[in-house]
Chains A and B, each alone.
Chain A
Amino acid sequence: MSDALFWHRLHFGFTVTYHYLFPQLTMGLSLLILIFKWRAFRKGSALHDEAARFWARIFGVAFAMGVVTGIPLEFQFGTNWSRFSQFAGGVIGQTLAMEGMFAFFLESTFLGIFLYGEKRFGPRMHLASAAALWAGAWLSGYFIIATNAFMQNPVGHAIGPDGRLQLADFWAFVLNPWAIWQYLHNMTASVVTASFVVAGVGALWSLSGRHPEHARLALRTGVVSGLIASCLLVFPTGDRHGKLLAEKQPATLAAMEGLFETRPDAELAIIGQPNVHERRLENPIVVPGMLSFLVYGSFGSTVTGLDRIPEDQWPDNIELLYYAYHVMAGLGTLFIGLLALAAFQLWRGRLERSRPVLWALMLAIPFPYIATSAGWMTAELGRQPWLVYGLMRTADGTSPRVSVGNTLFTLLGFAGLYLVMGILFLYLVGREVAHGPGAPHAQVLPAGAQRPAEEAA
Chain B
Amino acid sequence: MEALWFAIVAGMLAVYVVLDGFDFGAGFLHLLVARTDAERRSVLAAIGPVWDGNEVWLIAGGGALFMAFPVAYAVGFSGFYLPLMLLLWVLILRGLSIELRSHVSDPLWAAFWDATFALGSTLIAIVLGAALGNVLRGVPLDSSGTFHVSLFDSFWPSARSGVLDAYTVLVGVFTLLALGGHGGLYLAIKTDERVHTRSLRAARLLWVCAGALFPLVTWATTRVAPELPATAAHRPLVWILVVLLVASASALVLGLVRGNPALGFAGSAGTLFTLLGTGAAARWPVLLRSNLAPSLSLDAFAAATTHHGLRVALSWTLVGLPLACGYFVFLARAFRGKVRLETPAHAAEHGSPRDTGP
Instruction: List residues of chain A with CB under 8 Å of any chain B CB.
Output: 53, 56-57, 60-61, 64-65, 67-69, 71-72, 74-75, 77-80, 82-86, 88-91, 93-94, 96-102, 104-106, 108-109, 111-113, 115-121, 160, 164, 166-168, 170, 399-402, 406, 410, 413, 417, 421, 424, 428, 431, 439-456
Contacts and interface: CB of A to CB of B under 8 A. Distances in A.
Interface string B8-21: 00000000000000
B191 to A, nearest CB: 10
B354 A56 contact: yes
Contacts of A116: 48-49, 335, 354, 356
B32 interface: no
B66 A401 contact: no
Contact of B337 (A65, A82, A160, A453): A453
A113 B334 contact: yes
Contacts of B347: 445, 449
A33 B319 CA distance: 29
Contact of A100 (B56, B78, B85, B327): B56
B137 interface: no
Contacts of B148: 401-402
For chain A, what secondary structure do more than half of its interface residues adopt (helix, strand, loop), or is it mixed? helix
Interface in B33-89: 37, 41-42, 44-45, 47-50, 52-53, 55-56, 58-64, 66-68, 70-71, 73-82, 84-85, 88-89
Interface of B: 37, 41-42, 44-45, 47-50, 52-53, 55-56, 58-64, 66-68, 70-71, 73-82, 84-85, 88-89, 91-93, 95-96, 98-105, 110, 144, 146-148, 192, 305-306, 308-309, 312-313, 316-317, 320-321, 323-324, 327-328, 330-331, 334-342, 344, 347-348, 350-358
B71 A417 contact: no
Ranked nearest first, the 8 interchain pairs of A and B with the lowest CB-CB distance are A89-B70, A78-B77, A447-B48, A93-B67, A451-B357, A452-B337, A100-B60, A446-B102
A400 to B, nearest CB: 6
A86 B41 contact: no
8 contacts: A78-B76, A93-B68, A101-B63, A117-B49, A167-B309, A444-B110, A445-B344, A447-B44
Contact of A98 (B37, B73, B316): B316
Nearest to A425: B100
A119 B353 CA distance: 10
Contacts of B84: 75, 79
Nearest to B356: A120
A401 to B, nearest CB: 4
Nearest to B52: A108
A413 B89 contact: yes
A61 B77 contact: no
A113 B357 CA distance: 14
Contact of A90 (B305, B350, B356): B305
B104 A105 contact: no
B37 A64 contact: no
Contacts of A57: 354
A228 to B, nearest CB: 29
A448 B63 contact: no
Contact of B105 (A101, A105, A443): A443
B308 A166 contact: yes
Nearest to B50: A112
A410 B67 contact: no
Contact of B328 (A94, A109, A111, A428): A109
B53, B147, B317, B342 pick with most chain A CB within 10 angstroms:
B53
A117 B334 contact: yes
Contacts of A410: 81-82, 85
Contacts of B320: 98, 101-102, 105
A117 B48 contact: no
Contact of A89 (B37, B67, B78): B67
A452 B340 contact: yes
Contact of A101 (B60, B81, B102, B104): B60
Nearest to A77: B66
B313 A97 contact: yes
B98 A101 contact: no
Contacts of A455: 337, 357-358
A53 B309 contact: no
A399 B96 CA distance: 30
Contacts of A402: 78, 81, 148
A53 B99 contact: no
Nearest to B87: A75
Contacts of A67: 52, 55, 95
A22 to B, nearest CB: 12
B52 A78 contact: no
A450 B60 contact: no
Contacts of B351: 53, 439-440
A109 B102 contact: no
Contact of B100 (A84, A111, A119, A424): A424
A152 to B, nearest CB: 19
A401 B77 contact: no
Contacts of A447: 41, 44-45, 47-49, 98-99, 101-102
Given A53-B351, A428-B104, A450-B339, A401 B334 contact: no
B312 A400 contact: no
Contacts of A448: 45, 48-49, 354, 356
